[in-house]
Amino acid sequence: MEKRRVVTSFLEREGKILLLKRSSKVGTYKGRWAGVSGYVDDNEELLHAALREIEEETELPRNEVKLLRAGKLLPIPDATNNILWLVKPYLFRIHTDKIRVDWEHQEYRWIKPEDLEGYETVPMLGETLERVMELHPKPVILDSEVMEGSRRIISDRTHGATWLAGEALRVAKLASERCEATDVGDYVRYLKVVIDELMRTRASMAPLTSSLSLLFHDIDEASKAGSLSQLKTLTASKVEALTMKLKEAMFDTAKYASQLIKDGDTVMTHSYSSTILEALREAFQQGKHFKTVITESRPLFEGRITAKELSKLGVPVELIVDSTAAYFVSSVDKVLVGADSVLADGSIINKAGTYSIALAAKDSGVSFYAATQKVKYDVRSYLGEKVTLEEKDSSEVWEETVLGVKVRNLYFDVTPASYLSGIVTEDGMVKPEEMTTQIEAMLPHMYLG
């Protein structure tokens, strides 16, 4: 999918904004209404591109426009043209209504922002405008139980990324049930605020953000033709379907991952992963005889949970402290870990310490695999957003406070793609270099706001 950077500027005068109707001479979206839009040249500064387009398309000199606001970049996937538009919105104020449009447009109008819904526009023009102008001044107040659900997800230290994704979906369903909106527009706006809030709870866990993105995309699409009751029913059914898909994908991934384990292997894993635990269980039930080396995974010792579960099955387990993983890795046949996120470049985010094990495995010539589900693909890394690694309370590492000592408790690290032998998903083995193509196939089905 080709990425194209675009600036879209809205010109405001006396409470109205300027709309331009695209002519039949342009390459895309003929006859649709838009703001002042245009491509950004290579290495061109975004604001410069916005001012240049205003001058070209309206003949307004730069000294007659005043920048009011720059909005957050909006990704808009266009499956028809196989383009990902990366739209940077701006809001400018002008003091004249005397403009002249160029060949790209056949007509212009000054409208009230709230009247935009009545026009056939280029894709997501309303969402673009919302990034620089508040179209719905009525505040959205979140339900107390919804907020409590959000807080539980933030503070959770015992569950994995897939479970937390399911919990976020359940909170979204609760929000839908308790929403007191009386029309479709208010309902969608409320759910959008809820979804955005839930996405912020655990930003480094892609299954949470991806599941919510898939949910809201379908809600938003259905809102264009459905009634309020239909939307609430749809939300409930989509939550159930996505939750079931999370479970099914985990089991399918585990089955593929179990095929990596051979009779007589010694397998190392780090921390706790429901997918890895299921893969090891599947291999054991297939009659394979193997040993495991499990790291404790400090500071909360999730590896001990993995060790207990495997010992119940009868799988031989050696539990080691994290700092000795590099020593023990040379004596294993392969390393198999989970992943909380897979980035667009094929690298993985997983429990802190994973990168160190991967380095040692590479040095020892030991294969290093990650097993995860496609819902854990980090779409935002594809869009160029900075990766956020969670850092938690220092008291988990050291309860005592010592003057002059700053305790860091980083929960995750990034293991580069070059250290991975492969990534196992519900569809089988994927090469790290294939990740960009895999993510591009997901984009048209996701909310990227």
Q: Where are the alpha helices (DSSP H) in 329-397?
A: 354-364, 379-382
Contact 422, 355 (CB under 8 A): no
CA distances in angstroms from 298 to 205, 235, 321, 419, listed in the order given: 19, 38, 8, 23
Q: If we measure between CA atoms, which residue out of 379, 376, 373, 382 comes closest to residue 428?
A: 373
CA distances in angstroms from 139 to 128, 131, 135, listed in the order given: 19, 16, 11
Q: Which residues of 270-283 are buried (b: 16+ CB within 10 A; e: fewer)?
A: bbbbbbbbbbbbbb
> What angle do helix axes 184-201 and 161-178 make, rounded to 10 degrees?
150
Which residue do the tokens 């988990």 mark? 396
Which residue do the tokens 């230290």 mark? 157
CA distances in angstroms from 335 to 4, 257, 261, 312, listed in the order given: 39, 11, 10, 21
Contacts of 253 (CB under 8 A, 6+ apart): 275, 279, 371, 372, 373, 424, 425, 426
Q: Is 134 left (phi over 0), alpha (psi -120 to 50) or beta?
A: beta
Residue 340 falls in the annotated catalytic set: yes
Would strands 266-269 and 291-295 be described as parallel, antiparallel, or unpaired?
parallel
The catalytic residue among 78, 220, 340, 378 is 340
Amino acid at 445: H
Question: Tokens for 173?
Answer: 């369903």
Q: Which residues of 86-101 are buried (b: 16+ CB within 10 A; e: fewer)?
A: bbbbbbbebeeeebeb
Backbone φ, ψ for residue 183 (5° rounding): -145, 165
Question: Tokens for 214?
Answer: 């898939």
Q: Is 291 exposed, middle or buried (0-12, 13-18, 19+ CB in 10 A)?
A: middle
Q: If we measure between CA atoms, which residue out of 237, 393, 263 comes closest to residue 333?
A: 263
So which residues are the catalytic ones? 340
